[in-house]
Amino acid sequence: MESARITRRRFLRDSARAASALALSAWGLQAGQKASHAQELTFPVERGASLRVLRWSQFVTTDRPIFEENARRFTQRTGVPVRVEYETWTDVQPKAAAAANVGSGPDIVIGFFDEPHLWADKLVPVTDLAEYLGRKYGGWFDVCPQYGYSPQRNAWIAIPIGAPGVALNYRVSWVREAGFDPDPARFPKTTDEFLRLCRALKARGHPTGFALGKAVGDGNTWVHWCLWAFGGRAVAPDNRTITINSPETANALEYARALYETMIPGVAGWLDPHNNRAFLAGEISLTNNGISIYFAAKNDFPEIAQDMNHAFFPVGPVGRPTELHLFSQAYIFSYTRYPNAAKEFLRWVMEDTQYGRWINGMLGYVSHPLKAYTNLTVWRSDPKALPFRDAVARMLPHSYAGRPGPEAARALAEFVIVDMFADACTGRRSVRDAMRAAEDRLRRIYRG
Amino acid sequence: MTRGVARLLTFQLPLAAFLVFLLFPFYWMLVTALKPNRDLYNLALNPLWTWSPTLDHLRRLLWETHFLPWMKNTLVISVGATALSLATSLLAAYAIGRLRFRGSGVLGIAIFLTYLVPPVILFIPLSRIVSGLGLWDRPAALVLTYPTFLVPFCVWLLLGYFRTIPQELEDCARVDGASRLQVMRYVTFPLALPGILSCLIFAFTLSWNEYLYALVFLSSTDQKTVPVGLATELVTGDVFQWGPLMAGALLGSVPVALAYSFFVEHYVAALTGALKE
């Protein structure tokens, strides 16, 4: 009952505490406001402005309503009507190409990889916005400036939006049955250990499956990981010297051949949806994919959702993560009559209230490019989504070790690296011939 | 008895095999559209049948996407582009095949060569024209651009047909006092009906299924055509919603199948008639 008694000494002590707490909080608030004012940025929207936004169609059904709700709130706040147009993610680029060449079309495009570098001179620089967002939200992850900044323009030409991350998807019970710990924290962390797991799974009748067809997402992500994990790379940092024909690439291809022996037959023809189907059908025990398999499983196959988990790609001899994810960024065409409205819209979308709502609603499908968003609720809501949180932090640009640009875009579009791995794995070509064929193709591409 | 067996072996069985071969894709679309998702991914089940059919996929397609406006758009665009292409091709082919003027042979070859230019090269210059005409995001853009690949092929096809029609028939009509237009209307075009119908089917089918121009020139969800709309709404990342997709493919193929079944009869009749001539 001592606490209920108010003595003179206690009154003085508590009053002093309260006064100092008030003083401290007032100082903190003031300092916070000062900092916040220093960080705030708005763009004066042009009179009569309206915006057209072209973006990829939704990966999860919660994406579109939240994005459109954010756009509606922007309209309510600024009076700028926003029309959002959707295309399949692989179809955004041809539409943007037409718009870039015609000089008319959507004001803002949200596309993938190095699209902005294909028409860098036709875009509105967004350095002010990129720097503001970086300052306010703990900085961009390392890969972001490589995609968003144009050395040619000496400016940021795009705002990174995030990346639909790719992780290893595996069946928990089968990994345990193979003698490995299925906990993502203790999942094989090196390429050697990972190969041992795949062999053990295959020996127990649970093959793995990694796409080797023209799979834009799944094919490109795992072969680039494998190539870089062993120190191989398509091009040198000068963006001219082709370096694919190297002992490191040969090691990567030999490793992939060993991995291929653990795979289910038919992967050479697999496109992006094939591994989803095979995993959900119980044909394969392990693959690389976004979080889409897990969501499909939660809806229609709860027993599989229960029995699956995700883990990072293992680290190879280079000793650091070498992942590739589908990187998305937004850019503004300079033909727009409302560049300020467009920048203000992107700022609005990327601010914590809107961005947090959007990314949380997408349930981990897209990983954030700004470090402060590592604390979003979505990354705490479901432990199985956690490996996707660090996708942008762990990734390299697909152009590595060169720069994003027309050459890297073409090499990716022509599946040069995927074809090299497919040739070597299926035995269509020897490792040496596969490297030479890729080298010839890359030389043609980078020579222009 | 022997005659019956012979008929079975030489006619009925091959016909049945042919029918199975032709109709199997439609059956596959139907059965996929009726299967629940759990059955679609369960390889232990019979892939050719479902014991728990559902209309959920159809419901999703019809009420949760813009499928009906897409069908209307596709129909309007296909009919418009076909009519425009056919009218242009008929006059062009007749002029090149029948009228004697310098360079007609070269012109015929040149028109056909334009058919060999892939649309992927043409879509950017065409975008400029469409934008200049103010037709961006309007179905009229496709009605005007589809003839760029329909007209060359139709002209080439019709040229061949016009060359099989004896010149003497036209000469007789001219001697009897018919004008050039009357000759075209009452003599040449009726005899070229098989060719015209072939062009019609060809142009309609290509317009119905075209993807690239429809993707580039149309943007709003409710302005899209069936092929682009289905891909945009029902392919979500690497998840293909097979049930609604197959339902859409099945319903989307009905008009083309109807056009074929309707015109094939006329096509054969016209062909027979032409031979009798």
Residues A210, A270 within the same domain: yes
How far is the C-alpha of A392 from the C-alpha of A378, rounded, in Å?
A: 16
* Residue of B238, B240, B245, B246 for testing the chain A interface, max A β-carbons within 10 Å: B238
- Per-residue pLDDT at A11 exceeds 90: no
Task: Kindly report the backbone phi and psi dihedral angles of residue A355, in degrees, each rounded to the nearest multiple of 5, phi listed first.
Answer: -65, -40
Query: B54 CA to chain A: closest CA distance, Å?
Result: 14
Using a CB–CB cutoff of 8 Å, tell me whether B216 touches chain A: yes
Residues A406-417: pLDDT tens digits? 899 999 989 999
Query: B238 CA to chain A: closest CA distance, Å?
Result: 5
- Per-residue pLDDT at A6 exceeds 70: no
Whether residues B238 and A54 touch (CB distance < 8 A) is answered with no
Closest residue on chain B to A94 (Cα): B216
Closest residue on chain B to A275 (Cα): B238
H-helix or E-strand spanning residue B235 = strand B235-236
Whether residues A60 and B37 touch (CB distance < 8 A) is answered with no
Residues A319, A332 within the same domain: no
Q: What is the DSSP letter of B261?
A: H
Containing structural domain, residue B118: 59-276
Of A86, A101, A277, the CB nearest to B127: A101
Name residues whose C-beta falls within 8 Å of residue A71's C-beta, 6 or more positions apart in sequence: A53, A82, A84, A345
Query: Range with the lowest mean pLDDT among A195-199, A381-385, A437-441?
Result: A381-385
pLDDT of residue B258: 83
**Is residue A161 within 8 Å of residue A366, measured between CB atoms?**
yes
Q: What is the Cα A137 distance to its own chain's centre? A: 18
User: Does the residue A150 lie in any domain?
Assistant: yes
The CATH number linked to B130 is 1.10.3720.10
How far is the C-alpha of B235 from the C-alpha of B259, rounded, in Å?
A: 28
Alpha-carbon separation of residue A87 from A120, B143, B207, B224, B231 (angstroms): 22, 21, 20, 11, 8
Query: A164 CA to chain B: closest CA distance, Å?
Result: 9
User: Does the residue B71 lie in any domain?
Assistant: yes
Residues A298, A345 within the same domain: no
How far is the C-alpha of A358 from the C-alpha of A390, rounded, in Å?
A: 17
Task: Annotate B207-234 with DSSP letters as a single string.
Answer: HHH--HHHHHH--SGGG--HHHHHHHHH
pLDDT of residue A288: 97
User: Does the residue B8 lie in any domain?
Assistant: no
Residues A266, A353 within the same domain: no
Place of tokens 């269509």: A428
Of B136, B232, B237, the CB nearest to A86: B232
User: Does the residue B191 lie in any domain?
Assistant: yes
Token couple for B8:
């079975």
Residues A80-104: pLDDT tens digits? 999 999 999 888 998 999 899 889 8
pLDDT of residue B271: 58
How far is the C-alpha of A230 from the C-alpha of A249, rounded, in Å?
A: 7
Residues A258, A298 within the same domain: yes
- Per-residue pLDDT at A73 exceeds 60: yes
Alpha-carbon separation of residue A417 from A114, A210, A225, A411 (angstroms): 17, 14, 11, 8
Whether residues A98 and B123 touch (CB distance < 8 A) is answered with yes
Average pLDDT, integer, range B93-114: 85
**Is residue A100 within 8 Å of residue A122, measured between CB atoms?**
yes
Query: B186 CA to chain A: closest CA distance, Å?
Result: 45
Residues A357, A211 within the same domain: no
Q: How many CB pairs under 8 A join A and B?
A: 88
Own/partner contacts of A302-308, CB < 8 Å, gap of 24 or more, are A304/A171, A304/A279, A304/A280, A307/A171, A307/A172, A307/A173, A308/A169, A308/A170, A308/A171, A308/A172, A308/A279, A308/A384
Residues A140, A221 within the same domain: no
Which ranges of B116-146 would DSSP assign to H, the alpha helix?
Answer: 119-132, 140-145
Own/partner contacts of A39-42, CB < 8 Å, gap of 24 or more, are A39/A132, A39/A135, A39/A136, A41/A128, A41/A129, A41/A132, A41/A347, A42/A344, A42/A347
Query: A305 CA to chain B: closest CA distance, Å?
Result: 13
User: Does the residue A90 lie in any domain?
Assistant: yes
User: Does the residue A357 lie in any domain?
Assistant: yes
How far is the C-alpha of A6 from the C-alpha of B21, rounded, in Å?
A: 94
Q: What is the DSSP letter of B116?
A: T
Containing structural domain, residue A139: 51-157+328-385
User: Does the residue B32 lie in any domain?
Assistant: no
**Among A164, A158, A137, A132, which Cα is nearest to A146's?**
A158
pLDDT of residue B272: 58
Confidence of residue B266 (pLDDT cuts 50, 70, 90): low
Q: Which residues of B touch A52 (CB under 8 A)?
A: 219
Q: Which residues of B touch A283 (CB under 8 A)?
A: 43
pLDDT of residue A9: 52
Whether residues B43 and A105 touch (CB distance < 8 A) is answered with no
Residues B122-175: pLDDT tens digits? 888 898 899 899 998 999 999 999 999 999 989 988 888 888 889 999 999 999
Residues A297, A175 within the same domain: yes
Token couple for B9:
């072996």
Residues B14-72: pLDDT tens digits? 999 999 998 999 999 999 999 998 888 887 888 899 999 999 999 999 999 999 999 99
**Is residue A54 within 8 Å of residue A85, measured between CB atoms?**
yes
pLDDT of residue B35: 94
- Per-residue pLDDT at A299 exceeds 90: no
pLDDT of residue A25: 41
Residues A106, A215 within the same domain: no
pLDDT of residue B105: 81
Query: B109 CA to chain A: closest CA distance, Å?
Result: 30
**Is residue A293 within 8 Å of residue A122, measured between CB atoms?**
no
Residues A306, A214 within the same domain: yes
Instruction: Give the B window 118-157 contacts with A, CB below 8 Å.
Output: 123-124, 127-128, 131, 136
Domains of chain A: total: 2
Confidence of residue A241 (pLDDT cuts 50, 70, 90): very high
Q: Which residues of A touch B136 (CB under 8 A)?
A: 104-105
Token couple for B249:
């493919």
Looking at every residue in chain B, the average pLDDT score rounds to 89
CA atoms within 13 A on the CB side of B229: 25
**Among A204, A209, A205, A229, which Cα is nearest to A219's?**
A209
User: Does the residue A251 lie in any domain?
Assistant: yes
Residues A302, A194 within the same domain: yes
Closest residue on chain B to A272 (Cα): B238
Average pLDDT, integer, range A171-183: 97
User: Does the residue A39 lie in any domain?
Assistant: no
- Per-residue pLDDT at A22 exceeds 60: no
pLDDT of residue A3: 42
Whether residues A282 and B43 touch (CB distance < 8 A) is answered with yes
Global pTM reads 0.84
Domains of chain B: total: 1
The CATH number linked to A274 is 3.40.190.10
How far is the C-alpha of A261 from the C-alpha of A237, rounded, in Å?
A: 34
Whether residues B220 and A89 touch (CB distance < 8 A) is answered with no
User: Does the residue B168 lie in any domain?
Assistant: yes
User: Does the residue B41 lie in any domain?
Assistant: no
User: Does the residue B251 lie in any domain?
Assistant: yes
Closest residue on chain B to A98 (Cα): B124
Closest residue on chain A to B222 (Cα): A85
Residues A313-368: pLDDT tens digits? 999 999 999 999 999 999 999 999 999 999 999 999 999 999 999 999 888 889 99
- Per-residue pLDDT at A287 exceeds 70: yes
Residues A181, A295 within the same domain: yes
pLDDT of residue A40: 81
User: Does the residue A29 lie in any domain?
Assistant: no
User: Does the residue A315 lie in any domain?
Assistant: yes
User: Does the residue A43 lie in any domain?
Assistant: no
How far is the C-alpha of A394 from the C-alpha of A392, rounded, in Å?
A: 5
